[in-house]
């Protein structure tokens, strides 16, 4: 807390006004200033966008902002509950091309920020759908003389046109778990796939097996 006696300001007030009628008394006789040290915190910027992609188009990567995070300043108790700053909502409608749009940040009045706006990046690409079959194999099955029905799973996926020829069966792998309740049945999980591929579905997710002699 800081205290300031207003009588010490009388002369400054008179000089500033430059009037024949001089101020002799200022009320109240003192001012109380309550001050706190500002704190700093780094928070992420979250884009708020409404959009719809044209047929056969998909996001190339998740929507992001530049900067992706900012520093905010204020009283510590005001900062501790703030983990992110959201942009003002952008309405784009249908799109089939990459877009960069500037948006204002929704900054609470109780704090200050490093910047007041951010650029929202939306990267779009044309894709095609395809499918690939891979055999159902695992260490679990190789330890026994097992025959699986069906022997392969079919994976349906979406991929950008420029990556279409890069996809091979070796890019995918599965995990097989034996059913704890039903003998002769296994659960299939897709363990790995290329990062540039979007999985639509795969089947079967459950297969049966028999132990042969």
Return d(Cα 194, Cα 198) in angstroms, integer.
8
120-170 confidence digits (pLDDT tens): 999 999 999 999 999 988 777 776 677 888 999 999 999 999 999 999 999
**What pLDDT was estimated at residue 20?**
61
Rg (CA), the chain: 32
Among the ranges given (101-110, 114-123, 131-140), the one the predictor scored with the smallest mean pLDDT:
131-140
Classify strands 49-53 and 90-95 as parallel, antiparallel or unpaired. parallel
A 10 A CB-CB count for 137 gives 14
Six token digits for residue 114: 């490093």
- Asked whether the predicted pLDDT for residue 7 surpasses 80, the reply is no
Entry pTM: 0.68
A 10 A CB-CB count for 36 gives 10
Average pLDDT over residues 94-106: 95
């Amino acid at each position: 807390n800081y205290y300031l006696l207003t009588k010490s300001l009388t002369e400054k007030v008179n000089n500033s006004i430059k009037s024949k009628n001089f101020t002799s008394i200022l009320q109240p006789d003192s001012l109380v200033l309550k001050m706190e040290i500002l704190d700093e915190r780094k928070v992420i910027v979250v884009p708020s966008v409404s959009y719809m992609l044209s047929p056969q188009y998909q996001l190339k990567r998740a929507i992001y902002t530049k900067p992706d995070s900012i520093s905010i300043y204020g009283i510590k108790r005001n900062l501790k509950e703030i983990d992110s700053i959201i942009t003002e909502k952008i309405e784009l409608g249908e799109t089939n091309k990459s877009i960069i749009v500037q948006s204002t940040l929704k900054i609470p009045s109780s704090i200050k920020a490093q910047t007041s706006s951010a650029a929202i990046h939306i990267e779009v690409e044309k894709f095609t759908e395809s499918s690939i079959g891979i055999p159902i194999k695992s260490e679990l099955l190789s330890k026994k003389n097992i025959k699986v029905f069906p022997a392969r799973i079919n994976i349906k996926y979406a991929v950008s046109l420029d990556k279409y020829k890069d996809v091979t069966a070796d890019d995918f792998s599965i995990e097989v778990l034996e059913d704890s309740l039903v003998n002769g049945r296994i659960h299939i999980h897709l363990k790995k796939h290329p990062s540039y591929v979007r999985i639509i579905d795969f089947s079967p997710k459950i297969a049966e097996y028999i132990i042969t002699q």
